[in-house]
Structure 1
Amino acid sequence: MPAINGKTALYGLFGFPVEHTASPLMHNAAFEELGLNAAYLPFPVSPDRLGDAVKSLRALGIRGVNVTIPHKQTVIPFLDDLSTAARTIGAVNTIEITPSALIGHNTDSIGFIRALKEEAGFSVEGKPVFIAGCGGAGFAIAVQCALCGASSLTVMDVDRQRAHALKNKIATVSSTKVSVADTSDLVPACVALAVNATPLGMHETDPLPFSIDELSDSAIVYDIVYNVPQTTLLKTARDRNIKAYGGLSMLLYQGVEAFEIWTGKTPPVKTMNAVLQQAVYGVQK
């Protein structure tokens, strides 16, 4: 990273804790490759100081920040405006700082869509989609799929009330048909994309989040879990020669989207990906 001086543009991450994050490595590698005099720093912001931290952004001349757990929802009252996706999802992970406003974005959701496009050459437009898990990530992914024109969504969660809340939210912004499945149901054979947005897969002993016995061989499986290179779901799908992708690409492309919002520049995606692979798996691609 270039030496920090009086002209260095500062970017960062608000979260609590932030010690685990790979975002500084990813963004600082991109700044260095593009020759930008900029630095990305993690800021441990406790929940009771979030308002103070947001108010400090302009005073400190910070150019943009990401927001992570536990602040993605609670940061919203401190912002001036929200993107359509952030407003619908009810969560923000990126703050754009303009001369007149602090604008909240959700690049997690669009990062997922972009990961599918870049890795699999896949678009959800006009396609039936299945999503297991209707919490934060699953909620965001489902809303974005609807906004991007998925023909139908089948959602499943152990908390059926949460699944129905997601269905009702999507009905306010999209004509996409949404069905709520029981956890015992098989993934519908017609779906083109099956997504695991539950924590199942983070440990070797976890059961499959859903059965893919009826899934077409031409479908795509995406598992947002990324702490291991290959979850049981991914292995099961690949053993059937079904195209399957892990969640590190979603992390990558949410960062790419944030970088573009802040700088207006196209970041070096290959470099960012290599840094993430090294940080998470200890290998480079």
Structure 2
Amino acid sequence: MALYGVIGDPIAHSMSPLMHTSAFRESGVDATYVKFHVKKEDLPQAIEGIKALGIRGVNVTVPHKEQVMELLDEIDPLAEAIGAVNTIVNENGKLTGYNTDGLGYVEGLRNMSKEPLEGKSMLIIGAGGAAKAIYYTLASLGVRVIDVTNRTKERAEKMIGACPFQLDSTSLTLEEAEKRLQDYDVIIQTTSIGMFPHIDESPLVMHEVKQGSIVSDIIYNPLETSLLKQAREKGAQTQNGLDMFVYQGALSFEKWTGIFPSYSIMKNTVLQQLGG
């Protein structure tokens, strides 16, 4: 039986084991997937343990996505550009790092959009790790207009300035972004604002959102954040973070096994756990 897992601190809340176990079962893969609680100071030993124990692959979650890069044998170019790894593949003791967060997000967004994403005008709320993965991935795939708004404008400017892909980007204060929501076809919320238990909070007021636009929030607990509720009531299409979570997991699964698993099985497993 092959062994896979997820490393992070904290890790008890992770729904990845349930999701991947259902995918292994449905795909007929003889494998098990477990949580590994790894503190920051123990990360180097944990990575050596992956090799020593023959663990075929792991997901990496906070706070290890950046620090783990220096401990791996090879980094995929997109993960290198993003500066974070969320998936490790062990091929006969050689550990390669990938980032499926941005690609997972984009896969879910493509399913919502009736038109190609490349021609869309986009706004990203936030400038942290998730924002960077989504921003760089969209840019790498040819989206050319992506503005960024963040509580600290300088952090948004830094993320834009470091992007290795050519595109048109402006950094905005939250106040500026609120006034310009009509300019965007897609608005992507990447911060933790509005996550359970602070479900009444929202990073922006969505009064000016364009009818028919897509408003996406990477949070999936609750399934509808305050920001999404506001956007829906103004006539926007809305998407929670469940698609991103499931697709990034499915892409990791594919890296490990060569099989793209059943998206619906994985999503339903998570929905049942969330009580949705």
TM norm structure 1: 0.91
Distance across 2 between alignment mates of 1:220 and 1:119: 8
Distance across 1 between alignment mates of 2:209 and 2:224: 19
Q: Which moved more, 1:52-61 or 1:212-221?
A: 212-221
Q: Which of the two has greater helix per residue?
A: 2
The residue number in structure 2 matching 1:204 is 199
Gaps of 5+ in 1: 1-7
Query: What are the Cα deviations for residues 76-116 of structure 1, in whole angstroms up to 9, with x where unaligned?
Result: 11011111221111111100122363111111111100111
The residue number in structure 1 matching 2:185 is 192
Question: 1:237 aligns to what SS in structure 2?
Answer: helix
Distance across 1 between alignment mates of 2:114 and 2:77: 25
Distance across 2 between alignment mates of 1:105 and 1:264: 15
The residue number in structure 2 matching 1:178 is 169
How many residues are aligned here? 272
Q: Cα RMSD between the aligned structures?
A: 1.5
Contact in 2 for aligned 1:12/1:64 (Cα 8 Å)? yes
The residue number in structure 1 matching 2:253 is 259
- Cα offset, 1:45, TM superposition: 1.1
State, as a whole percentage, how many aligned pairs show the same letter: 37
Matched, 1:157 2:121: no
Question: 1:184 aligns to what SS in structure 2?
Answer: helix
Distance across 2 between alignment mates of 1:135 and 1:123: 26
Contact in 1 for aligned 2:121/2:186 (Cα 8 Å)? yes
The residue number in structure 2 matching 1:245 is 239
Which residue, out of 114, 117, 131, partners 1:138? 131
The residue number in structure 1 matching 2:121 is 128
Matching of residues 5-154 of structure 1 within 5 Å = 8-99=1-92, 101-121=94-114, 123-154=116-147
From the superposition, tell whether residues 97 and 123 of structure 1 become closer, same or farther in structure 2 (CA, over 3 Å).
farther
Contact in 1 for aligned 2:152/2:173 (Cα 8 Å)? no
The residue number in structure 2 matching 1:3 is none
Contact in 2 for aligned 1:47/1:71 (Cα 8 Å)? yes
Gaps of 5+ in 2: none
Query: What are the Cα deviations for residues 171-226 of structure 1, in whole angstroms up to 9, with x where unaligned?
Result: xx2111110011111234232110111222122331x3223333321310001111
Contact in 1 for aligned 2:5/2:35 (Cα 8 Å)? yes
